Amino acid sequence: MVADCERGAIASAASGGGEMGYRKVFSTGLIIFLGMASLSRAQDYTLQYFLSKASSKSVELSKKEKVELFNQLDEVMKRAQGIRTKLLQEVQTGETDVRYQEGKFWISKLEEDGESIDVGIQQIKLLREKSTDLVASLRLYKSLKDLSSNFNAYNNLASFSASVGDSAPEMELWADPVFYKLCLLPLARSKDGEKAAPQKEQKPVPKGKRP
């Protein structure tokens, strides 16, 4: 694809002739190359990438990988917010065939989702500042699990499934194994290790000497 674009640019530049044409060729080729490289980098850190990482023997994330993981989780929360808003509107305006009492139940669930999303976004901000925050990690994990549970329930309803789609199973995978194995579990183990670390024994003060 890049080669075809470059060939088109060369042909166009050649028709103009001269040094100016070759400058256009170089600029066009550079822009295409940088664009493709940027796209490639953006596609590196997908759900599939982190699933592979979670299933590998070495689950330790680099600083760059942690940044990208939190970026992906932030996008998960934003997509969940969009789906929640759409479902809430459909139920409230009667666009779905959900009965009144049943609709009240699902509205309460969607309101719970709003709280989970707000909490999750806040925890992601905290973890970006301090990735070793165990409390924030636990809260984010709970938010993801609660959302995935509700979204999977929505997916079982014909009225909601079209809006939810693959977001439900994907959210479940982001929660576990991805976030659980790559962030929460290693962090919890490191905290346990710190607690279990033996303290240095203090030598008794010899009699007759003041400390």
Q: Indicate the DSSP class of residue 100.
A: H
Report how far Cα 63 is from the mean position of its chain's Cα atoms: 15
Question: Given this model, what pLDDT does residue 44 score?
Answer: 85
CATH topology (fold) of 47-191: Four Helix Bundle (Hemerythrin (Met), subunit A) (1.20.120)
pLDDT at 135: 97
Cβ atoms of residues 110 and 85 within 8 Å: no
DSSP state of 176: I
Would you state the pLDDT for residue 200?
55
Q: How many angstroms separate the CA atoms of 182 and 125, rounded?
A: 18
Q: pLDDT for 123-155, tens place per residue?
A: 999 999 999 999 999 999 999 999 999 999 999
Residue pLDDT, tens place only, 152-201: 999 999 999 999 999 999 999 999 999 999 999 999 999 876 666 555 55
The helix/strand count (H/E) of the chain reads as 9, 0
Domain coordinates in residue numbering, the chain: 2-39, 47-191
